[in-house]
Amino acid sequence: TKNELISLLENLRKEGKKIGFVPTMGALHEGHLSLVKESKHNSDITVVSIFVNPTQFNDQEDLKRYPRTLDKDIELLKTVDCDIAFAPSVEEIYPEPDTRKFDFGYIETVMEGAKRPGHFNGVGQVVSRLFDIVQPDKDFQQIAIIKNMVKQLKYNIEIIPCPIIREENGLAKSSRNTLLDEEYKKNAPHIYATLKKARNLASQMNVSELKKWIADEINNNPYLETEYVEIVDDTTLKVVENWSEEGTKVACVAVYAGKIRLIDNIVF
């Protein structure tokens, strides 16, 4: 329970231990485990939460379909010497409905925010609740929304970004990959292959031409259908219109492989 976890962590803090935290929705893979390893490198105690958060799903079928593999997850966490696993029930996190509304401004109006209304508000709700329970010194999640929420709520928490972990064929590791049928799984690496080609073509096309090229190249594969392609500033997520704009640029895509929605990105 959250009270047991709070009590345990309070005692560890009294011993001067630094707490690292990796929030997950379970169905763990090498990507998650890389975050645990990073947390252990930077902290004395690492907590991993496993909680499929209902408030960030705008599609109830997607919530039902999301993989849940708690026993396997616990065994995987043991292989990287995770200190504490916290797998609460929905009632434990939301004893009453969470009616809080976060204002993330521009960054919740593009890409995932535009396609999944309410998604980032749900992310803000659950991560802030988990932060209140764990009160970590360090958290591992590369997402502008979380950085914004930490600033809004004045948490004294350091967010440490980590690289995407990929399969050998380039497909970004994701819990949703387990839901892919064999043919879709074979063709999904085409997404990252396209992004790598696009990075090399950036000097030959303007931004809008390159975005169209990425979408067309992905859609040429009969097993894939692009939902969006955006090229954005890596800090503000502001959509880039010209290569001359300052800042690091990132190409972000959402692609359907059958019914399964995959997202990926590459830094230019």
Catalytic positions are 32
* Sequential DSSP letters for 75-121: HHHHHTT-SEEE---HHHH-SS--------GGGGSSTHHHHSTTHHH
Q: Is residue 105 left, alpha or beta, with left meaning phi > 0 and alpha meaning psi from -120 to 50?
A: left
- Sole residue written with tokens 């979408």: 215
Q: Hey, is 21 helix, strand or coil?
A: strand
Phi and psi, residue 44, nearest 5°: -85, -35
250 and 230 in contact (C-beta within 8 Å)? no
Q: CB count, 10 Å around CB of 168?
A: 6
Q: CB count, 10 Å around CB of 141?
A: 18
Nearest CA to 164 among 178, 143, 184, 181? 143
Joined tokens for residue 193: 């292959």
